[in-house]
Amino acid sequence: MSGAFAFEEGDFHALSDACSGDAQFNDRRLATRRKLATLGKRAVALFTTEGVALESRTSLHNPTVFNHMRVRRLWAYICRAKTEKKRLRTVLGAELAKDLDAAYRNAYLCVAVEADALEVSFIMRSEGWYDGQNLLNRIKHDGLDAWLKLLNDLPGFRLRLHDWKGEWLCGSLTPERLEEFLSYYVPGEHSLTIEQRLPAPPGARQMAFGPELPDHMLSELEKLLPIYRYAAWSKESDFLFSR
């Protein structure tokens, strides 16, 4: 699928509680996965023109032990390319970098579908502690203002800490609120997420079916690229060990 597409009722229904563990819906979920793969490839091509080397992968569409025999969420990761992973390996060393190939062990941008929502996000999971530590070291070096401005340039997104119920709304964050978040955040223990959720509940999904929505998701994902460039370790954002 390389051209335009729209989301459909089946994209959401196949992820519902009633269907998420049923292998009969694998083909339906595969169609959704291909839509997300298309968005991921478009994002990679777009970001390449902006000087950021990334690659895209998609999640499993069939029930397996890795997803506890339920597919409740499908997504495309957009994370550092192999060349960038190779550079990071030289910094971390063989032992620390042995699992770096797994996309979720890197900071990544994400587009996702769940049974009742679409999502556009930037995610640093606890397993990708090096990116989280790079961010904290950069904030310590640069001061809080640059990170605060990047977050407040994202109205409609929210900053979240791991699985905590609290949230910090981008666009209106104060230095005090951001310092509060950073006082709790520990790389290696917590995930850090900046997300925009687009509700698509059963019976009220017409917005999600519009042919313009994939383009809108890509546009919102592009807004997160400065966040990625600031936080994730790279040659231009090298604050992990060297400073």
What pLDDT score was predicted for residue 242? 61
| Stretch 144-172: mean pLDDT | 96
What pLDDT score was predicted for residue 103? 79
Amino acid type, 75: W
Domains, the chain, with CATH or none: 9-231 (3.30.930.20)
Dmax over CA atoms of the chain, in Å, equals 53
H/E stretch holding 213 reads helix 213-223
pLDDT tens readout for residues 36-61: 999 999 999 999 999 999 999 999 99
What pLDDT score was predicted for residue 145? 98
| Stretch 191-205: mean pLDDT | 96
CA distances from 189 to 20, 67, 162, 163, 230 (A): 29, 21, 9, 11, 21
| Stretch 216-234: mean pLDDT | 97
From the number of C-beta atoms within 10 Å of its C-beta (0-12, 13-18, 19+), residue 75 rates as buried
